[in-house]
Amino acid sequence: MEATGRTVLYVCSVLLILTGDCQLIHIDPLVSHVIEGESLLLSVETHFPLDKADIQGTWSYTMISGTKSRMLVTFTKENVITDMTYGDHLVFRESNLSLEIKNLKRDDEGDYHLSLNIKLHNQTGSIIKEEKTVLVTVDVPVSNPVIEKSPSYAVIEDKANVTWTCSVEKGTRVKFKWFRDNVALGASDRYHFSQDSATLLISPVRKEDKGSYHCVASNPVTAGQHSRAVELIVYYGPYNLEVNSGQGLRTGEVFTINPGEPVFFECQADSNPPNSYVWISKSSNGTDIIAEGPLLEVRSYKLAQAEEYLCRAFNNVTQKQDEAQFTLVVASLGTGKEKHTQEGSSVSPLAITVCSLFAIGFMVLFFLRRTCHPKRGRFFSDLSTFESTGHEDAKEDFGIYEFVSIPGKMESAQASCRSLARLESIQDMHTTIYDVIRHVPETPSHSLLK
């Protein structure tokens, strides 16, 4: 330390000669934020050997407003005069010229000013003048903020304003920040903040304002204190009305479907509360409400030509509505599966005859195999109930039988009993024939009573 002191002294001496300026004292930091009731040490670093210098200085105080100023301590190496009205509120450290202020009150806020004249023993004749000012602020920590919304109930977009208020029970120089869904909010043409941001006015409210709001309060001595989150519910819509269908072919607003296909349309729109929907059929006669609710089923075989439909969504809270028009055309789409189905229906009488013949043929085969193999073989290997009971009552054979012929392997034709629910796989088979086998049960009355 002694060596450092000498170096500084030397450097300073040179600087002093060259420029007449030298930092012989240092106070860190020059702004202090203190919690009310705590003590503060205005700690002075002296960059010269105190014992090898004559000093004479003062600590003084000026209110932040600059209106009131007073001397706190006047000192030389030999004597120290402290303002007696402060009592033990102030403690001056002669060893390094630091000043301690105890139990700070808000009134103690202000500039604390150290003024020092130094006369180094080896710099005969020259006096170095040093000045330092520390701004001290005294604050009360911020308590948990409380968030409030006005009105407290859900609001309708474009028609209502919402005022958010954030308040704290304790705290000085409090600043507020606002967040929606954890994203900080800034001023805009609809977002108006009060000076300290304690209130946020949203005018008018829009759909995008919905979400979870919270405020954060802070001051120089308290990091952000978060309020609880409060939901803003906004009634809005309908927006983005759309009509969709899983079936048929869509070209813009025209849906083309195959004849015979029942088609479902779904109407969707973004809205709070949920919309009510009506479906309207437009014809030369005028318009007809044909259904209510988000789904519409159209039986295409009823249609002879293109028909116009309309889905209208209505939000009975916002009193806003939207509608989407579309056209339904019945035509053969002539592709893939649909083509197959369509051909099938056009040659249906022939197909039925051929199918029946096949069915009879397979039935004969089937029963022949059954009689040849009294124990059920692979025919019913998948029917565990049959095997577990060993019961061969004819009524167990009720159901729909599916015959699948694999080309070139007629002998190994397989038969399996399937539930109606699995019938959708029909079109994926190479050749599939269905028939319903009905046997008159041996004891019908018994089974019915059960």
Contact footprint for ligand NAG (CB under 6 A): 6, 43, 45, 93, 95-96, 98, 122, 160-161, 203-204, 276, 283-285, 316
Considering beta carbons, is residue 1 or 223 the nearer one to ligand NAG? 1
Calpha distance 57→77 (Å, rounded): 9
The residues, any chain, with a CB within 8 Å of residue 334's CB and separated by 6 or more, are: 342
Considering beta carbons, is residue 171 or 238 the nearer one to ligand NAG? 238
Q: Report in angstroms how near the CB of residue 282 gets to ligand NAG at its nearest.
A: 10
Q: Report in angstroms how near the CB of residue 210 gets to ligand NAG at its nearest.
A: 17
Considering beta carbons, is residue 287 or 414 the nearer one to ligand NAG? 287
Considering beta carbons, is residue 91 or 230 the nearer one to ligand NAG? 91
- 192 pairs with which residues across the strands? 201
Considering beta carbons, is residue 19 or 284 the nearer one to ligand NAG? 284
Q: Report in angstroms how near the CB of residue 120 gets to ligand NAG at its nearest.
A: 9
Tally the residues of the chain.
Answer: 450
Calpha distance 267→278 (Å, rounded): 9
User: Which two structure tokens, joined as six digits, stand for 166?
Assistant: 């954030």
Give me the helices (H) in 211-335, please: none
Q: Report in angstroms how near the CB of residue 219 gets to ligand NAG at its nearest.
A: 27
Q: Report in angstroms how near the CB of residue 155 gets to ligand NAG at its nearest.
A: 9
Q: Report in angstroms how near the CB of residue 8 gets to ligand NAG at its nearest.
A: 11
The residues, any chain, with a CB within 8 Å of residue 34's CB and separated by 6 or more, are: 40, 104, 136, 137, 138, 139, 221
CB-based contact 185:136 (threshold 8 Å): no
Considering beta carbons, is residue 6 or 68 the nearer one to ligand NAG? 6
Least Cα distance to 30 among 109, 114, 134 occurs for: 134
Considering beta carbons, is residue 98 or 321 the nearer one to ligand NAG? 98
Considering beta carbons, is residue 283 or 385 the nearer one to ligand NAG? 283
Please state, as a whole number, how many other Cβ atoms lie within 10 Å of the Cβ of residue 76.
Answer: 12
Strand ranges inside 102-248, DSSP E: 110-120, 128-139, 146-150, 155-156, 162-167, 175-180, 183-184, 191-193, 199-202, 211-219, 222-226, 230-232, 234-244
Q: Report in angstroms how near the CB of residue 27 gets to ligand NAG at its nearest.
A: 9
Backbone angles phi, psi at 142, to 5 degrees: -85, 135
User: Which two structure tokens, joined as six digits, stand for 20?
Assistant: 């007449």
Q: Report in angstroms how near the CB of residue 151 gets to ligand NAG at its nearest.
A: 9
